[in-house]
């Protein structure tokens, strides 16, 4: 149904169009979208027209398009991501108030850590993550929490590499990583100095729902900060979020 | 391209499928989706399969589906909604800390107020709004701000009705509404007691970007609370958000 001559479904083509939009590229012409999505120009123009008609894209005065509010609404209205994020947000605000550094919520998505929320303190230090951005599982503190509790098959696939270094101190040795993940399961916390950026230490803890780890909560500390207060704040926030999720399900 | 026998585009059909998911209905079977989207069962099953393959929907153990993290990511990553929300969030947190009631950010979308963000204080009173939820322009305090500054054609279309009452005190008389909107443009604030719910008063102010009103910031107060502190907090938050948006565009 609705397949193109090249065999990809219309859904896949729509995804390819939407994928061309990023935080740094939120406005594009139909020609640019076509080039970046690898679609013939006439196809790209027709698809943009159709997506604008449906409200998934919106056109501005100079005929460039951006992602539509309607897409945002459809993606969020019934989403489990929003349920998790709403449960976590009040507790993340408490972490941010106490620790005064970036506070983040991530889930496992396609072998990466996908960030659902990030609260930033005006005085906080460096931080590479963005909402709806991703980081490798083996490098980010959130990713290490998710990887430690991931299904064994996924964990082995990630450990089999390639394991890219984001910074000089990213752990990329599979044997060391395996030991680190065992520690994470035992201690219930990740402390990852210099793993994403040399100037900062990621600290992360798991959030469980119905016994399963479903997310990681993290803060990014300046490299020289002792992690104790952050660990305590994150654990309290995780427990609060888990209690809200439990109450939600009743 | 990719049109069905009934003439609706594949994009429109995907939107119809996504529209069946709501905050109260986040998990469905393919058969339920088909029925609610008005699609033949075989079509619904094929479409769900295709959307699951693309990650826009996800299937759980009992073969029911929910909105996928991939859809969430694609909708947010390059979105202008996220840019506005990120600019406003720190200031909304300040409003919430000061006023300790629900704090909300809304934009105009298809002749309604669409809520992009809502921060809820644990001690706060009743509130009907939800993230990615909508309220009528003429009834909600946010909607009245957006309607007051909307293009004249849209305003006339809304004033021409029908103007549904959400509560006994919702203003549904077009002449009264018109006068109210003139006041809003002059005073820069909406105070709407009992307009959405009898027990609460909505207070809202505009947020401008490049001279245009692009959003409304609001709090929901218990009916007997004086609005002065809320107005001052909202005005400060709107000014802060506007400054962030200006800095962003440089």
pLDDT single digits (tens) B192-201: 999 999 999 9
Domains and CATH numbers, chain A: 10-75 (1.10.10.10), 78-249 (3.30.450.40)
More confident call, B86 vs B105? B105
pLDDT in tens, A43-71: 999 999 999 999 999 998 888 999 999 99
Residue A1 has pLDDT above 60, yes or no: no
The pLDDT score that the predictor gives to residue A249 is: 74
The residues that bridge with A65 in the sheet, in sequence order, are A28, A59
Chain B contact set for A78 (CB, 8 A): 21-23, 25-26, 66-67
Cβ contacts of A76 on chain B, cutoff 8 Å: 72, 75, 131-132
Q: Do B67 and B52 touch, CB atoms closer than 8 A?
A: no
Shortest Cα–Cα distance, B139 to chain A (Å): 20
Query: Token pair for residue B20?
Result: 């069946």
Contact B219, B203 (CB under 8 A): yes
Which residues have CB under 8 Å from B212's CB, separation 6+?
Answer: B149
- Cα B224 off chain centre by: 26
Instruction: Decide if A76 touches B, using CB distance below 8 A.
Output: yes
pLDDT of residue A122: 63
- The answer to whether A26 faces chain B, any CB pair under 8 Å, is yes
Q: ipTM greater than 0.95, yes or no?
A: no
Percent of chain A with pLDDT over 70: 94
Q: Does B9 have pLDDT greater than 90?
A: no
| pLDDT surpassing 80 at residue A145 | yes
- For residue B148, the SS3 value is helix
Q: Which residue from A74, A109, A134 is facing B18, i.e. has the nearest CB?
A: A74
Residue numbers in A near B65 (CB within 8 A): none
Predicted local confidence at residue B249, as pLDDT: 74
Give A-chain residues touching B8 at CB under 8 angstroms: none
Tens digit of each residue's pLDDT (9 = 90 or more) over B60-100: 888 899 999 999 999 998 888 888 998 999 899 999 889 99
Q: Which of A37, A33, A36, A53 is nearest to A45 (CA)?
A: A33
B43 contact A CB<8A: yes
Q: Which H or E element spans position A236?
A: helix A228-249
Q: What is the pLDDT of residue A242?
A: 96
CB B136 within 8 A of CB B122: no
- CA-to-CA distance for A195 and B89, rounded, in angstroms? 28
Q: Token match 């820069």: residue?
A: B188
Using alpha carbons, list the distances in angstroms from residue A179 to A171, A186, A192, A198: 11, 11, 14, 22
- pLDDT of B126: 65
Q: So what's the pLDDT on residue B138? A: 96
Q: Do B75 and A80 touch (CB under 8 A)?
A: no
Judging contacts by C-beta atoms under 8 Å, the chain B residues touching residue A95 are none
CB nearest to A51's CB, from B11, B74, B107: B11
Chain B residues closer than 8 Å to A89 by CB: 119
pLDDT at A2 over 50: no
Residue A150 has pLDDT above 80, yes or no: yes
pLDDT over 80 at A41, yes or no:
yes
B169 burial type by CB count under 10 A (0-12 exposed, 13-18 middle, 19+ buried)? middle
For residue A136, with 0-12 CB atoms within 10 Å meaning exposed, 13-18 middle and 19 or more buried, which class applies? Answer: buried
d(CA A182, nearest CA chain B) in Å: 27
Does A162 sit behind a cis peptide bond, omega within 30 degrees of 0 on the bond before it?
A: yes
pLDDT band (50, 70, 90) for residue B1: very low
Question: Pick the residue with more confidence: B2 or A96?
Answer: A96
Chain-centroid distance, C-alpha B240: 21
| pLDDT for res A62 | 84
Tell me which residue of A96, A90, A99 sits closest to A119, measured CA to CA: A96
* pLDDT band with cut points at 50, 70 and 90 for residue A14: very high
Q: How far is B55 from chain A (nearest CA, A)?
A: 9
Alpha carbons within 13 A on the beta-carbon side of B42: 1
Alpha helices (runs of H) in B20-101, residue ranges in sequence order: 30-37, 41-53, 69-77, 80-99
Contact B110 A11 (CB under 8 A): no
The whole-chain average pLDDT of chain B stands at: 91
Is the CB of B110 less than 8 angstroms away from the CB of A55? Answer: yes
| The pLDDT of residue B123 | 63
A202 phi/psi in degrees, rounded to 5: -85, 135
Look at B26 and A110 and tell me if their CB atoms are within 8 Å. Answer: no
What's the pTM?
0.88
pLDDT, chain A, mean: 91
Residue in chain B nearest A71 by alpha carbon: B75
According to the 3-state scheme, what is the secondary structure of A76-116? HHCCHHHHHHHHHHHHHHHHHHHHCCCEEEEEEECCEEEEE
Which pair of structure tokens corresponds to residue B5? Answer: 């026998």
> 3-state DSSP: chain B helix, strand, coil percent, rounded to 5?
45, 20, 35
Name beta bridge partners: B83. Answer: none
Q: Model confidence over B126-171: pLDDT tens digits?
A: 667 788 899 999 999 999 999 999 999 999 999 998 999 999 999 9
pLDDT digits (tens, 9 = 90+) for B13-52: 999 999 999 988 999 999 999 999 999 999 999 999 999 9
Write phi, then psi, for B190 (nearest 5 degrees). Answer: -115, 130
């Amino acid at each position: 149904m609705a397949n193109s001559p090249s065999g990809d479904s219309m859904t896949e083509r729509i995804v390819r169009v939407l994928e061309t939009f990023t935080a740094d590229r939120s406005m594009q012409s139909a020609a640019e979208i076509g080039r970046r999505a690898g679609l013939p120009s006439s196809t790209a123009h027709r698809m943009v027209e159709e997506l604008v008609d449906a409200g998934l894209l919106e056109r501005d005065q100079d005929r460039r398009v951006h992602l539509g509010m309607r897409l945002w609404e459809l993606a969020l209205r019934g989403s489990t991501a929003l349920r998790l994020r709403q449960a976590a947000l009040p507790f993340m605000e408490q972490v941010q108030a106490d620790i005064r550094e970036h506070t983040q919520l991530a889930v496992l998505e396609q072998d990466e850590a996908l960030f659902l929320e990030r609260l930033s303190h005006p005085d906080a230090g460096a931080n590479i993550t963005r909402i709806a951005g991703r980081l490798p599982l083996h490098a980010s503190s959130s990713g290490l929490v998710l990887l430690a509790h991931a299904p064994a098959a996924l964990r082995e696939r990630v450990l089999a590499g390639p394991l890219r270094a984001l910074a000089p101190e990213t752990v990329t040795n599979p044997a060391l990583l395996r030991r680190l993940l065992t520690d994470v399961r035992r201690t219930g916390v990740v402390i990852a100095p210099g793993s994403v950026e040399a100037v900062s230490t990621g600290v992360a803890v798991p959030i469980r729902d119905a016994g399963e780890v479903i997310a990681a909560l993290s803060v990014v500390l300046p490299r020289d900060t002792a992690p104790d207060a952050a660990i305590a704040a994150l654990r309290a926030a995780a427990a609060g979020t888990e209690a809200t999720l439990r109450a939600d399900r009743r």
